[in-house]
Amino acid sequence: MNDFSLVCRVLGSLFYRQPQDPLLDPLFALISQGKLEQHWPLEQGELLTRLQQDYQPERLAADYNAMFVGEGHSVSPYGSDYDDARPQAEVRAFLEQRGMPLGEGPTDHFGGLLLAASWLEDQAAEDEVTAQITLFNDYLLPWCGRFLGKVEAHATTGFYRTLAQLSREALQAMWDELSEQDSGEA
């Protein structure tokens, strides 16, 4: 797994899965032990340290659920709930064209789109950079700033506020990298 895929997979998993999901246990172990930084390809040491310090497992589920789950949640993780995002059906069609296996649920979840970016990178198709640029430019970046701002505003734990800041910086770094690769290929 390369750096781009790793960043997308970690951030995507933390937003897509509820904190009590056992699949996150190894990731939370790295965070709580301060070991994520040694695997993290971006220079975000201060934010990773804050993420570790703000990791309070007993509070994460309540914060996650209040923001993202059920009736009365304060932050929608779905692009289709933001005016400047593409329709969910268009996101699904794009991912299906790329051969990504999809379930029945919505495909425009912020975390799910980051996981899709990781999947696209791992598939290493000839036009992977073009696909990733399209995913970022058309389906993620137009609304993710508003989404992350809402997470920062509504989170009751420092963990999710820090995760939003970490994600904002990482997305910018990945977009810069994709743009450089694209201009290098042109």
Residue 114, pLDDT score:
96
% of the chain residues with pLDDT over 90: 74
**Can you give the pLDDT at residue 138?**
94
Please tell me the predicted confidence (pLDDT) of residue 91: 94
What's the rounded Cα separation, in Å, for the pair 114 and 151? 16
pLDDT in tens, 42-80: 899 999 999 999 999 999 999 999 999 988 899 999 999
Q: Which pLDDT value is given to residue 130?
A: 87
Q: What is the pLDDT of residue 123?
A: 82
Residues 6+ apart with CB under 8 A from 115: 8, 9, 12, 13, 16
Alpha helix stretches (DSSP H) within 39-157: 45-53, 57-68, 88-97, 110-123, 128-134, 141-154
pTM of the entire predicted model:
0.93
**What tokens does 97 get?**
């064209």
Domain range annotation of the chain: 3-185
Cβ-Cβ contacts under 8 Å for 31 (sequence gap 6 or more): 51, 52, 55
Rounded CA gap, 186 and 111, in Å? 30
**Domain 3-185 -> CATH class:** mainly alpha
Q: Which residues of the chain have pLDDT under 70?
A: 1, 124-127, 184-186
Q: Report the pLDDT value the prediction gives residue 61, as an integer from 0 to 100.
A: 95
